[in-house]
């Protein structure tokens, strides 16, 4: 038997923020450039034929959550930051699925790379 599930998706790509996170004192003192991606999947929560912001997921509020958590503390690990954002978004919006990515563009190493990225996903039991 097949179950057909109609999903709606909100994607917020590459929120650029300075974060004071990392294992080294200079990262926490001077800050590092970070990028955040948010993907949220819903069923019949964002299909808004009334054109009413109060009847959908306000992505500006989602971005504000990312900004608030990023500036609320200094984390040693990107994994901790990513997990806190994921848990708060899932708690507030109850999506079918949420994917959070956090990228760090500068590392205190002598190797050329674009970035490192942590990705975390949570899915509800549909």
Q: Is residue 3 part of a domain?
A: no
- Any idea what the CATH number is for the domain that residue 77 is in? 3.30.1130.10
Strand, helix or coil for residue 17 = strand
Q: Is residue 1 part of a domain?
A: no
Average pLDDT over residues 63-89: 97
Q: Is residue 48 part of a domain?
A: yes
Q: Is residue 20 part of a domain?
A: yes
Q: Is residue 84 part of a domain?
A: yes
Q: What is the pLDDT of residues 25-35, one digit of tens each?
A: 989 999 999 99
Q: How many domains is the chain built from?
A: 1
45 vs 72: CA distance, rounded Å? 29
State residue 11's pLDDT score.
96
Q: Phi, psi at residue 100, to the nearest 5°?
A: -125, 135
Residues 6 or more apart from 73 whose CB is under 8 A from it? none
What is the domain range of residue 22? 8-123
Q: Is residue 17 part of a domain?
A: yes
Q: What is the pLDDT of residues 36-75, one digit of tens each?
A: 999 999 887 666 677 777 777 889 999 999 999 999 999 9
67 vs 90: CA distance, rounded Å? 16
């Amino acid at each position: 038997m097949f179950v057909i599930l109609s999903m709606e998706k909100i994607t917020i790509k590459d929120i650029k923020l300075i974060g004071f996170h990392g294992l080294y004192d200079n990262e926490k003192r001077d800050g590092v450039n970070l990028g955040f991606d948010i993907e949220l999947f819903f069923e019949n929560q964002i299909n808004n034929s009334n054109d009413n912001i109060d009847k959908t997921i306000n992505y500006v509020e989602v971005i504000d959550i990312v900004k608030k958590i990023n500036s609320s503390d200094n984390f040693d690990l990107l994994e901790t930051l990513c997990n806190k954002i994921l848990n708060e978004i899932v708690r507030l919006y109850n999506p079918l699925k949420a994917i959070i990515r956090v990228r760090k563009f500068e590392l205190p190493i002598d190797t050329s790379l674009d970035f490192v990225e942590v990705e975390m996903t949570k899915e509800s039991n549909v």
